[in-house]
Amino acid sequence: MSRFRATEPRFGERGLENSEGEFAAQYAEYAVQGQLYPSREGSPLLEFAAAGRVLYLFDRMGPYTSQAGPARVIVHGILEVEEIEPLAASHEPPKEVLTVLGISSVEGVGRVLHVSRRTWVVQARVPLVLSAFDPLPDVVAGDWVSFKTVPPLHGFVLGERSGLGPKPSTKVS
């Protein structure tokens, strides 16, 4: 199986995205279904619960656009490259692990779902879009990795106001 080499557009030497909307559209299929809780006035953090974990996410889609209730959110973390470890294949696949560290970072073990330029999508109880400013180890979809992110985790809330989610049906008479 050949290793992935990116042919995606360049985002500058160390950039990971051109815009919030473009990033959200690119990774929308990996959004997590969960529950958003009311935000404190003036706080840039979203309180989001999914898969038995509560994550505090820096709101990337703009202040005051998210409403409490059920939500689809892309969870994006920046990897600590020195903490990444591709796991060797074994007879028994590793177990998905996601541990919340501090207020807004995680560490875990998961299966790689998607690989692109300096970004992996890893299933570790929930799908996580994980990026790095430096080159990542060579992995392919299906490989298992252990990882740790730096704070803060980022949240891209999808929905009607973002233009990236289901829209209410309208009746035409």
User: Residue 88's pLDDT is what?
Assistant: 86
Say what the pTM is.
0.83
CB 90 within 8 A of CB 96: no
Intervals of the chain under pLDDT 50 = 1-13, 161-162, 166-173
Distance (Å, whole) CA 84 – CA 139 = 11
Q: Which amino acid is at 89?
A: A
Residue indicated by tokens 């360049």: 10
> For the chain, what percent of residues have pLDDT higher than 70?
80
Distance (Å, whole) CA 31 – CA 87 = 25
Distance (Å, whole) CA 63 – CA 57 = 12
User: Residue 1's pLDDT is what?
Assistant: 39
Residue pLDDT, tens place only, 19-58: 888 999 999 999 999 999 987 777 889 999 999 999 999 9
User: Residue 63's pLDDT is what?
Assistant: 67
